[in-house]
Structure 1
Amino acid sequence: MSLCNLRVRSDVLALRAYCLRAILALATLFSVGCAGTKMASTSPSSPTPAGSLSPSNSTLNFGNVQLGSGKSMSLALTNAGTSAAVQISQVTASGPGFTVTGVTLPVNLEVGQSVTLSVDFKPTSAGSTSGNVSIVNTATKSNISVGLSGAGLASGQLAVSPASVNFSSVTVGGSQNQTGTLTAGSSSITVSSASWNGTGFSLGGISFPVTIPAGQSVPFRVTFAPQTTGAVNGTVSFLSNASNSPTNETLGGTGVQATLHSVGLSWNPDASTVQGYYVYRGAQTGGPYAKISTLQPGSSYVDASVSSGQTYHYVVTTLGTNSQESAYSNEAVAVIP
């Protein structure tokens, strides 16, 4: 008896589900099947080196810090190896306004031991700056480097964070939100209004006018809801009594077409005379099943009402010339990517 296919299609993607044979009433056999899906094998992870120094963060972002003040953040270094001690011989910070303290060198860390550094940022001028913490140790061939970033905020200025937002890919007809903050410098700032451009972008979560006390922040929300495919750029501008008004945040995102899925079912036709076939679908093995098709004269059916991330269970029945419906066939399973 020939084998037929059950296909899950996603544009050019085809997903083939499990093979099965269906036994219908009236002592007639037919089959619904497909080639098995290959599962990707996973390779065993590489063993942790005997001595391995691991930082708690790969980057530290200090955000906006007022000129004349500072901010500290912790950085933990752990020996994540299996047997050997690690010696840290040198720790240095680079970049305007960045310093590192909290450890007396050299320091030896046994397996599982940690040491915590204090990284400080005291901006020397208004605007964004960056640097890094470099750690010389015996566990790695090259120095470990932790990236640093921050911005100095002058008196009478308004800072927006982040300075740019990238929404990446968003399905047309859907939406995605990202949050940001407005921070006043060493004097209070009144933000009177905001405007934005770029198709699909909008601002929410904030009302105007709003007065932000010195050193304080207020949140806002930017939404990207693309109506067409393709890349879009935009800007949100905040008007205020700050010396750097308008304060801008740049926006970017890409609208992408929604992926369409379908499940194709086919089976060997009944050898006896029948009026046709009914297709049923359920959400779990063994049912319950709901009829999803009208009477099908042929031996195939396409289910286009499926969704990503779902699993569907199918069975088929025949309707005899005496208008009696057979029992369910064996079950076919389709997993939608």
Structure 2
Amino acid sequence: MPIIAVDAMGGDHGIPVMLAGAALARHRHDDFRFLLVGDQPRIEKALDKHPNLRSASDILHAEKTISGEERPSQAVRQSKGTSMGMAIQAVKNGDAQAALSAGNTGALMAIAKLALRTIPGIDRPALAALLPTLQDNDVIMLDLGANTECNTRNLVQFAVMGAAYSRILYDYEAPKVRILNIGTEDMKGTDDLREAAQILSDNASLPMRFEGFTEADKICRGEIDVIVSDGFTGNIALKSVEGAARFVTDILKRSFASSLRSKFGFLISRPATELLRHHLDPNNHNGAVFLGLNGVVVKSHGSADEKGVANAAAVAARLVANDLTQRITDDLETTGTSAAATNDVTNDAANDSSKSSPSAGANG
């Protein structure tokens, strides 16, 4: 099993929760090993509460941290000697096979991209996360904020990467993939969205079932395995889903506390409300992944508890064990979407579109 480099200083709670999460992951998977990166004296003290983690961990001392307010460009310049930067560097050096951080998302992406670079054939990494659905499996959605502006080529690459991730998580042969849009009709959306959909529809060799467009109200229905979006739209959609989940749970709490009869009703319905709370708890879906890098980097939610951190660690281990990077590389090479082939097919599609429509391809 892989060694996971943990940015022990990141997140809202830092060392106590990050180490408690790693300890829980170790309890669930006794072959996990960790490289704990951060202030060594504080880590040593915290390990007194987790003897099972101490026996499976090494410590890499880091004197500095990257705050949540630092701009990505500033974080990159100051990354040397920080817990986040050293955790990613450990992956680059081969001292760890995956990095896990709950710190500044923009900084993590910028540092990881500079240190690890992208897989040949991938222009930009994408942030992919799991969202709960009405079905048994979560839906994978990307990009969720790493790239605010995306062209046709980026969206096609996101679809390939998301499908590879889905095949690892759920062992699907051909995951169902759709692009997030303002409507399901072929003529809806921007030029880039329509061109990406055309390329994915025309390429039958891709290991996915591309089903066109979907609207935001279908994200959590469980009818789709992978949803592709640009980072700007995807991040807004994600925050909307999270906000709606909190709204529902807060309304239920307020309703059950409104009267004695309501409190009695809560006691009767508690098994159902507990199931709802469990399903909507973001800690149960924690562990966003930067797809497209030459290495595995997993982003935990900053406010995650120890259960969330443990789940994120399990995601990192599974992606390494199933060689996500090689899986994406193979898909790019064998399906005509390698570096050169993707460029050719995207340009050909854009040229064909521009012949039939004066405005098509303007944003590509």
Give 1 or 2 for the bigger CA radius of gyration: 1
Could you say which structure has the higher helix fraction? 2
Q: TM-score, normalised by structure 1?
A: 0.23
Q: TM-score, normalised by structure 2?
A: 0.22
Higher relative contact order (CA 8 A, sep 6+): 2
